[in-house]
Amino acid sequence: MAKVLALRLVRLVATLLAVSFLTFVMTALLPGDPVNAILPPDSPRDEATVERIREELNLNEPLIIRYGIWLGDAVTGDLGRSFVTDQPVADTIKQRIPVTAQLALFAVALALLMAIPMGVIGAYRQGGKADQVTSAGAQIALSVPNFIVGIMLIWLLTVKFNLLPSTGWNRISEGIGPNLKTAILPAFALSLTQMAIFSRLLRSDMIATLQENFVLSARAKGLKDRYVLFRHALRPSSLSLITIAGINFGALLGGTVVIETLFALPGLGFRLINAISQRDIIVIQGITVFIATAYVVVNTLVDLLYLAIDPRIRKS
């Protein structure tokens, strides 16, 4: 077990180093001078001001030296300060990550709540009407972009019936009820595509599991179908589902920008897009590395979660 944890830790650190270096290099290779993007159009561009900014950003140093300086600061938690807002990047992340993390977690949870019964029913009634209905629903959900779902939800539940707000965000500190009112629409818009992926994957794996000898033996003992499906067949069929759920959660931490823009949410992805348009390279580097760290950590935890789910893996 210790060897497995050590190997995962080495892989995590190596991945983060690679991602941070590639992000730094690609940001440095963007066309144009970042100084021109940092300075307002009507501000004076005298040589002293330009040189001061270049010195503060270490733009006069070789690329590898600049990366080493940035990495040394990042390891201590100092991700720099935005030249556009004059706010520390670490503070920007702290303020915005609760919005994006809750949105991603809520979307994955909703997707799993819908996908598990759909996948189980589809596998149990393979080829039947229930399977056809659930497969058709998953196909439709997979085909409709999440921003179209979001627009339809806004029209139906905000414009038509005035049940839920379409913009803004109430934090959990303001109350669970107000928070859920602002979170449910964007989370549901994100969850439909995830639900389709999860249900199709679970159905495929569970069809194979239901042919295993231990499932056939459980049925031969006269156990109820519901018990066999959820007690004996679901757990070994969930490994791929857990992997994809973890990967998609990590991806959603940086991939909710369209929904965050549509619902005017103060999330991390929306801030990253603004930083890219403003050539705010310090913010781009800090947020990208943070998202990559979260993504790799989530996937490492998913790998370790296998040990708790499947006894065969623990034994091996």
Average pLDDT of the chain, as a whole number:
86
Report the range of poorest mean pLDDT among 3-7, 140-144, 257-261, 294-298: 3-7
pLDDT at 230 over 90: no
Tokens of 105: 């977690």
Residue with tokens 């490994």: 239
Lowest mean pLDDT segment, chosen from 119-128, 205-214, 298-307: 298-307
| pTM assigned to the model | 0.84
The per-residue pLDDT for 197 is 94
Residue 251 scores a pLDDT above 80: yes
CA gap 126, 170 in Å, rounded = 43
Tell me what pLDDT residue 93 has: 93
pLDDT value of position 36: 73
What would the 3-class secondary structure string for the chain be? CHHHHHHHHHHHHHHHHHHHHHHHHHHHCCCCCHHHHHCCCCCCCCHHHHHHHHHHCCCCCCHHHHHHHHHHHHHCCCCCECCCCCCEHHHHHHHHHHHHHHHHHHHHHHHHHHHHHHHHHHHHCCCCHHHHHHHHHHHHHHHCCHHHHHHHHHHHHHHHCCCCCCCCCCCHHHCHHHHHHHHHHHHHHHHHHHHHHHHHHHHHHHHHHCCCHHHHHHHHCCCCHHHHHHHHHCCCCCHHHHHHHHHHHHHHHHHCHHHHHHCCCCCHHHHHHHHHHCCCHHHHHHHHHHHHHHHHHHHHHHHHHHHHHCHHHHHC
Tens-digit pLDDT profile for residues 255-265 = 788 899 889 89
pLDDT recorded at residue 132: 92
- The per-residue pLDDT for 153 is 94
Provide φ and ψ at 207, rounded to 5°: -60, -40
pLDDT at 295 over 80: yes
- pLDDT over 70 (residue 310): no
Query: Considering all CA atoms of the chain, what is the largest pairwise distance in Å, rounded to the nearest integer?
Result: 85
- Joined together, the tokens standing for residue 211 give 């042919």
pLDDT at residue 232 in the model: 86
Task: Tell me what pLDDT residue 137 has.
Answer: 92
Residue 277 has pLDDT above 90, yes or no: no
The model's pLDDT over 60-75, given as tens digits with 9 standing for 90+, comes to 888 899 899 988 988 8
CATH topology of domain 89-147+186-315: MetI-like fold (1.10.3720)
The pLDDT of residue 203? 94
Question: Under the phi-then-psi rule, with left for phi > 0, alpha for psi from -120 to 50, and beta for the rest, what region is 162?
Answer: left
Angle, alpha carbons 29-248-292 (nearest 5°): 35
Of 47-51, 92-96, 206-210, 238-242, give the lowest mean pLDDT range.
Answer: 47-51
Q: Contact 262/150 with Cβ under 8 angstroms?
A: yes
- Residue 202 in this model has a pLDDT that exceeds 90: yes
At residue 56, does pLDDT exceed 90? no
Task: Take residue 293 and report the two structure tokens written for it.
Answer: 């760290």
pLDDT digits (tens, 9 = 90+) for 145-193: 999 999 999 999 999 999 999 888 998 888 999 999 999 999 999 999 9
Question: Residue written as tokens 């080495």?
Answer: 10
* pLDDT exceeds 70 at position 287: yes
- Backbone torsions φ then ψ of 12, nearest 5 degrees: -65, -50
What are the pLDDT digits (tens) for 14-40?
A: 888 888 898 888 877 877 777 776 776
- Domains of the chain by residue range: 89-147+186-315
Q: What is the pLDDT of residue 311?
A: 62
